[in-house]
Structure 1
């Protein structure tokens, strides 16, 4: 068995596609009626479809899952983030751990937690 994709719920598919393309370079592989499959296994699903499927409300910023990315030039990434999405909400701004690894955590436009670190 193999994990194929990770699905996150978004309020606006078009804004979410742009966000993940702008910041992470993800490309759309399939765009079908409120479901978008992007490169690297990320799937975006329209909130209305998800709510109908599970018949429950969405809990934004539930902090129970995060998308994890690695970036060698994290300073350039943070500059791009601040330039393109200046109102992004941070969990923590760019910091350096005692062992030298750098990390930044923030929420996407829909409250999904994202972590970007330098590789070890």
Structure 2
């Protein structure tokens, strides 16, 4: 068995692609009509397909898992996030943990939880 990556569900894959491109530099590798493969092993699937295949409803903002990224210049990242996506919903604004790592947590436009922290 081989781990291939992470699939996240999006209401609109093109909107999600723009967000992940703007904020993390992901690029489109393949578009299969609502099923996209991006660089860094991230996959997007439109919610209509996901619900049809699984026979389940999407639970946005579920907090059960998160995408984790590291960024040395986290202040600049947060500034870009606030400029490009001022409507973004935060779980926690930029904070510093007791061990010195700075982190910010927020939901992408589809309610997928993201954490960005400085390298540990």
TM-score by length of 1: 0.97
> What does 1:79-118 align with in structure 2 at a 5 Å threshold?
79-118=79-118
The alignment partner of 2:115 has SS state of strand
Q: Once the two structures are superposed, what CA deviation does each residue of 1:17-37 show, in whole Å capped at 9, x if it has no partner?
A: 000000000001111110011
- Can you list the C-alpha shifts for 1:91-117, whole angstroms capped at 9, x where unaligned? 000001122110000000000000000
List per-residue Cα deviations over 1:68-97 (Å, max 9, x = no partner): 000010000000000000010000000011
TM-score normalised by length of structure 2 = 0.97
Determine helix, strand or coil for the equivalent of 1:87: coil
Runs of 4+ in structure 1 deviating by more than 6 angstroms, as ranges, are none
Determine the C-alpha separation between the residues in 1 that align with 2:50 and 2:73.
35
After superposition, the CA RMSD in angstroms is 0.7
